[in-house]
Amino acid sequence: MHRDPVLLVVAHGSRDPRHAATVHALVERVRSLRPGLRVVTGFLDFNVPSVQGVLRSLAADGTRDVVALPLLLNRAFHAKTDIPAVLREAPPRLRIRQADVLGPSPLLLDALERRLYKAGLTPADKSSTGVVLASAGSTDPEAIAVIADVAREWRRTGWCAVRPAFASASLPRTEDAVRALRAAGCPRVAVAPYVLAPGFLPDRIARGAADADVLAEVLGPAPEVARLLLARYDRARLPLLRALGA
Q: Could you tell me which of 159, 161, 77 has the C-alpha nearest to residue 121?
A: 159
Nearest-Å Rg of the Cα atoms of the chain is 19
Q: Could you tell me which of 48, 43, 52, 50 has the C-alpha nearest to residue 70?
A: 43
Q: What is the pTM of this model?
A: 0.94
Q: Could you tell me which of 25, 26, 68, 20 has the C-alpha nearest to residue 45?
A: 20
Q: Find out whether the peptide bond into 104 is cis, omega within 30 degrees of 0.
A: yes
The per-residue pLDDT string of the chain (246 residues; one tens digit each, 9 = 90 and over) reads 358 999 999 999 999 999 999 999 999 999 999 999 999 999 999 999 999 999 999 999 999 999 999 999 998 878 899 999 999 999 999 999 999 999 999 999 999 999 999 999 999 999 999 999 999 999 999 999 999 999 999 999 999 999 999 999 999 999 999 999 999 999 999 999 999 999 999 999 999 999 999 999 999 999 999 999 999 999 999 876 666 555
Q: Could you tell me which of 173, 164, 162, 174 has the C-alpha nearest to residue 144?
A: 164
158 CB neighbour count, 10 Å cutoff: 11
Q: Residue 115: enclosing H or E segment and its boundaries? A: helix 106-118
User: Residue by residue, what is the 3-state secondary structure of 61-93?
Assistant: CCCCEEEEEECCCCCCHHHHHHHHHHHHCCCCC
First to last CA, the chain: 10
- The pLDDT value recorded for residue 1 is 39
